[in-house]
Structure 1
């Protein structure tokens, strides 16, 4: 397994956000996390990337426990890319500088090497002409693609995507989803939290429905989204269907 979360528990004050959650992700697999707001999707991704410390349980990456207190978070994050719903690009830096900042400053890679790889990624996603542009000159979809490229320049073993289309205008969603679909075709292992049920159905190998910090139901998209077993999953999806999002 590339990722293995076992009995993970996370508490904020009196609120249990992740409650004995267990989830495995195999190599080249795409797992879509779905569920109502507050079900634990984003917190799980933050815990996997060590931005939030778990209170119990373990998380392993390629068989190594990354939640061991002795693990180096910077080394772990070189292997895990995380993209948020907000682009988090530095407005005073060009696209190329945004992408190469972490590889050069944090991971101490040669600047020329980092720039070459960044340019290659920008070419692959159709943004080669935007390397010297500033974020405010880009559309929301372009900014999000840059944010995804920034997460890919370290060739991560695992890519985490947290509602990456939710801040976009509807007409810009497609270009980001196309990029994610292309990454799946290239074998990228991904875990994505999403409200885009139609996209989850198309791109995910497995859908996991989270409820109250647990994986209540998981399986192939055709089963979980088309013929769910759990009553709570059916209730959640009925509301999604009413809203026209499935």
Structure 2
């Protein structure tokens, strides 16, 4: 059964249509990678999945429930759908532990001790044990992005959205973040991620989706879309990112 579904999803900003009727079905435990040029609609589609951006047409469904439009319980939706942003979005005046436990305590109502224990467990898992009392500016970019991933996982989401999470990192820090995502994929976490890391997409994705000018131009398994694309526009895009793809993990 389809777990996360976009039905004829449109998104407009004034007269500019960013998403022009997107249809996409994602199964539970599937890893879907969104690729495409900047401005193609990748980030907007992710943000529509957990209602950070309200859609202007169509429907988004999660496990059969409509999660777009008026009347959606946003707190419940964001407990089920985690998101990790390109720019970390950590609160600079809060410790790592407080950044991670804020939503579990305030939104999910978990006791402080339980939230703290879960944060410590997750930090150890991503190699950041002992950093709980640090502030974000005491961490490297890669460490901050790992904290951002932990913050999302602390809510025990059913699906995680990742928006170009390595694009703000120095190249030597990319691998440490992608290692965490790779582990989540192997554990069966349902994920939808926008990335320019073609080598990584080839490794972890079950489905690669190529967006161009707000529409899905091509989708399929990575060995087809990335190695033998049908559409000329897909081939053109992959030629532009081929040099970078050679350096991915």
What corresponds to 2:102 in structure 1?
Answer: 101
Q: Measure the CA separation in 2 of the matches of 1:110 and 1:25.
A: 33
Residues in 1 aligned to 2:144 and 2:18: alpha-carbon distance in whole angstroms: 30
Matches of 1:44 and 1:233 in 2, distance apart? 19
Aligned partner of 1:187 in structure 2 is 188
Calculate the TM-score normalised by the size of structure 1.
0.98
Matches for 1:80-229 after TM superposition, within 5 Å: 80-229=81-230
Other structure's SS at 1:129 match: coil
Which structure 1 residue ranges, 4+ long, deviate > 3 Å from structure 2? Answer: none
Residues 139-158 of structure 1 show CA distances to partners (whole Å, capped at 9, x for unaligned) of 11110000000001111011
The answer as to whether partners of 2:55 and 2:69 remain within 8 angstroms in 1 is: no
Cα deviation for residue 38 of structure 1 reads: 0.5
Using the TM superposition, give the Cα deviation of residue 245 of structure 1 relative to its aligned residue in structure 2, in angstroms: 2.3
Q: Which runs of 5+ in 2 are unaligned?
A: none
Contact 1:58-1:67 within 8 A present in 2 as well: yes
**CA drift at 1:137:** 1.1
Instruction: Out of 68-77 and 21-30, give the one that drifted further.
Output: 68-77
Matched residues, number: 245
**Stretches of structure 1 lacking an aligned partner (at least 5 in a row):** none
Report the Cα distance in structure 2 between the residues aligned to 1:28 and 1:59, rounded to whole angstroms.
Answer: 18
Q: Which residue of 2 aligns with 1:230?
A: 231
Rounded to whole Å, the distance in 2 between the matches of 1:61 and 1:106 is 20
Map 1:38-117 to 2 at 5 A.
Answer: 38-117=39-118
Q: CA deviation at 1:116?
A: 1.1
Query: Is residue 37 of structure 2 the alignment partner of residue 25 of structure 1?
Result: no
The CA RMSD measured in Å over matched residues stands at 0.9
The answer as to 2:244 corresponding to 1:244 is yes
State the TM-score, normalized to the length of structure 2.
0.96
- CA shift, 1:68, in A, is 3.8
